[in-house]
Amino acid sequence: MSDKHAIQLTVNGVPYDVTVDQSQNLSGALRNGTGLTGTKEGCDDCECGACMVLLDGSPVNSCSYLAVQAQGRDITTVEGLADGDDLHPLQRNILEHGGVQCGFCTPGMLMSARALLDRNPNPSNEEIRIGLSGNLCRCTGYARILEAVEATAVELG
Ligand code: FES
Ligand code: FES
């Protein structure tokens, strides 16, 4: 018997018809089923945050979330941050503050930061650290990423 399921995922407001195995994780369904490859797969074990997306506005490690369970939810990926050619202030600030080196962690960082600022528009430095604590970066040492989130909070505040 086939383990394949035809599902619909709503990503950044757009419906995508995707065929997945019952056990397919959401990150793989996004990358292979929708063509949206901004979401990265690092540890595949809920440790690094590279796969972070928003489900109904809340950050979720998509490597550890079943694609079939994401039906009917609003999924936001890094591709949903910019407004056309205009980068989201978080994207612009992380570039301007030098918070991107290899870039592998960046989509997940941005999604966690977006969720943080959505629920707390004026976070303290400590609150930003906690908000990004599920995202690992091997390159930057974090300081410039934290600066970028602080600058965005000031800008949007
Ligand atoms: S790939 Fe999902 S947490 Fe690392
Ligand atoms: S910029 Fe390379 S892992 Fe963060």
Q: Which ligand is nearest to the CA of 102?
A: 2
pTM: 0.96
Q: Which fold has domain 89-156?
A: DNA polymerase; domain 1 (1.10.150)
Residue from 48, 66, 77 to probe ligand 1 pocket by mutation (most atoms less than 8 Å from CB)? 48
143-156 helix and 106-119 helix, angle to the nearest 10 degrees? 40
Strand 4-11 and strand 52-55: the pairing is: unpaired
Q: 94, 126 in Cβ contact below 8 A? A: no
Using CA positions, which residue lies closest to atom 4 of ligand 2? 137
Show me where the domains of the chain are located.
4-80, 89-156
Closest CA to 34 of 62, 59, 58: 62
Q: 135, 105 in Cβ contact below 8 A? A: yes
Tell me what pLDDT residue 1 has.
Answer: 55
Tell me what pLDDT residue 55 has.
Answer: 98
Residue from 30, 51, 78 to probe ligand 1 pocket by mutation (most atoms less than 8 Å from CB)? 51
For ligand 2, the distance from its centroid to the CA atom of residue 103, given in whole angstroms, is 5
What's the average pLDDT block by block, 10 residues per block, for the chain (157 residues)?
88 98 97 98 97 98 98 98 97 98 98 98 98 98 98 96
Tell me what pLDDT residue 3 has.
Answer: 85
| Three state DSSP letters for the chain | CCCEEEEEEEECCEEEEEEEECCCEHHHHHHHHHCCCCCCCCCCCCCCCCCEEEECCEEEEHHHCEHHHHCCCEEECHHHCCECCECCHHHHHHHHCCCCCCCCCHHHHHHHHHHHHHHCCCCCHHHHHHHCCCCCCCCCCCHHHHHHHHHHHHHHC
Give the pair of three-digit tokens for residue 82.
Answer: 């910019």
**Is the CB of residue 101 below 6 angstroms from any atom belonging to ligand 2?**
yes
Domain 4-80 indexed as CATH 3.10.20.30:
yes
Tell me what pLDDT residue 68 has.
Answer: 98
Tell me what pLDDT residue 2 has.
Answer: 64
